[in-house]
């Protein structure tokens, strides 16, 4: 479908009095050429089930439907936006489900069922990282999502896709990369949004990969939390306080005790998580 029968988004916003609310982290995308570009970036959409968080007046929603998504599940907590979304649902019969809820509280597996789903969203700035870490931290793996195509502030996107020994390498990088592969697709300038934020944004795609054997998510989170809390310290110092002998932990993992957190690569953190589990005698509680 090259066009849709709905009015321009600025008219929709004016008619429904949908001023963006800072308290909800709202910045609306009104350019349907851009929203369709984001939709296409998620991959071929014909027949696909897509979960969208924070659709607002529906710019990206319309882009997804115009590009052929079979079913879009739009999760919106701002009741002001529901009439505009209902107009889209009427224009695309049977293809848009509107869920009034806080995306942080949704049971996504129950929502999408057992069919593979993609998440494509211009995430609210104030909860974007919390939503991402929740999707990355699910114990079920492979997860309910087959890909994430998400808009973040550029600085967050760079942390997600960062490499070791760079200033952006941190806990979020390790969590995003230990069993999935992220990459930045393209940047979006502030003027693309209403209202325009003070920062550049970027669209990131994350695709799940096989979970490394013998690595427990909880152990990896414990190790990275301790290490990056003292990222300028040597690991023999920053890991103090763990309930194991730290020199033995580093020796078991084959990690030099003089390294700093930002110099240790992903494989090093996976080795530390395995060694942490072994030294505590827990065995490998993978997830």
| 61 vs 35: CA distance, rounded Å | 8
Largest Cα–Cα separation, the chain? 66
Which positions make up the binding site?
27, 29, 54, 76, 102, 122
Which positions make up the binding site for S-adenosyl-L-methionine?
27, 29, 54, 76, 102, 122
Q: Interior CA angle at 145 toward 137 and 27, to 5°?
A: 85
Spell out the residues 6+ positions from residue 162 whose beta carbon is closer than 8 angstroms to its own: 168, 169, 170, 173
Within 10 A of 134 (CB to CB), how many other CB atoms are there?
14
Which H/E stretch holds residue 89?
Answer: helix 82-91
| 46 vs 267: CA distance, rounded Å | 37
| 185 vs 178: CA distance, rounded Å | 20
| 96 vs 101: CA distance, rounded Å | 15
4 phi-psi bin (left φ>0, alpha ψ -120 to 50, beta other): beta
């Amino acid at each position: 479908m090259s066009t849709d029968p709905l009015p321009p988004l600025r008219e929709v916003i004016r008619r429904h009095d949908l001023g963006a609310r800072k308290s909800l982290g709202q910045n609306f995308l009104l350019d349907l050429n851009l929203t369709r570009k984001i939709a296409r970036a998620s991959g071929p959409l014909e027949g696909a089930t897509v979960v969208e968080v924070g659709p607002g007046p529906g710019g990206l929603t319309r882009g997804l439907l115009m590009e052929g998504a079979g079913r879009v599940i739009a999760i919106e907590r701002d009741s002001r936006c529901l009439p505009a979304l209902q107009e889209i649902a009427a224009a695309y019969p049977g293809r848009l489900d509107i869920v009034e809820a806080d995306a942080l509280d949704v049971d996504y597996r129950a929502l999408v069922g057992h069919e593979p789903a993609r998440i494509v969203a211009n995430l609210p700035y104030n909860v974007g990282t919390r939503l991402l870490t929740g999707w990355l931290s699910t114990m079920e793996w492979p997860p309910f999502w087959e890909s994430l195509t998400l808009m973040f502030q550029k600085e967050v996107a760079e942390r997600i896709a960062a490499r070791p020994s760079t200033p952006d390498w941190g806990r979020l990088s390790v969590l995003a990369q230990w069993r999935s592969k992220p990459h930045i697709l393209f940047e979006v300038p502030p003027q693309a949004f209403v209202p325009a934020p003070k920062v550049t944004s970027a669209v990131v795609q994350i695709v799940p990969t096989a979970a490394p054997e013998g690595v427990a998510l909880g152990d990896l989170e414990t190790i990275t939390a301790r290490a990056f809390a003292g990222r300028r310290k040597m690991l023999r110092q920053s890991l103090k306080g763990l309930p194991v002998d730290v020199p033995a932990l580093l020796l078991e993992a084959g990690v030099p005790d003089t390294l700093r957190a930002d110099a240790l690569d992903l494989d090093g953190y996976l080795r530390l998580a395995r060694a942490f589990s072994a030294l505590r005698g827990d065995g490998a509680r993978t997830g």
